[in-house]
Structure 1
Amino acid sequence: MTTETSNAESRTGTDSLPANTIFELLLDDQRRDALQYLSGKVGAVALEDLVAQVALRDGEASGTRVDAITAGFRHNHLPKLIDAAVVRYDTDAGTVERRPEAAALDPFLQLARRYEP
């Protein structure tokens, strides 16, 4: 199993994330949708399932759109989430798992959800 981890691995679940990190992570709609989806899951989920949920939230689940979202997650969103130590990505299994540190984002995700169109 190959798992990508970050330099923030030493942070414990009780430590909070810096405000700048929280706002950067929640700035992007697709990252917010992914974090929201993962918050309702126990354990790891397949990256393809995560991307499918994000595509549904975007309102377009065509093959081309799913491919673009997948590329965005592999090259942009997952590295940011991994660096912040809020998810684990198992490259061999192709799964994403929410880490306990992600709980610091929950109040902000709830607030953002109130203002979504």
Structure 2
Amino acid sequence: MSCILIAEDEPRIAAFMEKGLKRAGFTTVVVTNGSAVVDSLVSGTFDLLLLDLGLPDKDGIEILEDMRRQGFTVPVVVVTARALDLRERTEIGMTGRDVVSKPFLMKDLVQKVRSLLNQ
């Protein structure tokens, strides 16, 4: 069973993602701030990260940069409601990350996760 780290500070969105992914057979862990993302990746074994760009205390792009510097290779799906600026598009493109725009359908998110995990 694959374990997915959900980095989302909006409780309703995090609960929606967690519920849908659990129904699809995944194990999930939710963190609500940027510092907890890298800490969780260091201490746990995750197969995929769902990363909101607008986290408190550390922007999602900073997290992607930290992950690249530290050599993390976990697949990442960026989940965002904001229009991406050039720096953000460049960083996401450099790291080969996928993007899902909010609002999204759960079936589309599950399909993206399964595709990345080859399930």
RCO higher in structure (CA 8 A, sep ≥6): 1
- Give the structure with the larger strand fraction: 2
- Give the structure with the larger helix fraction: 1
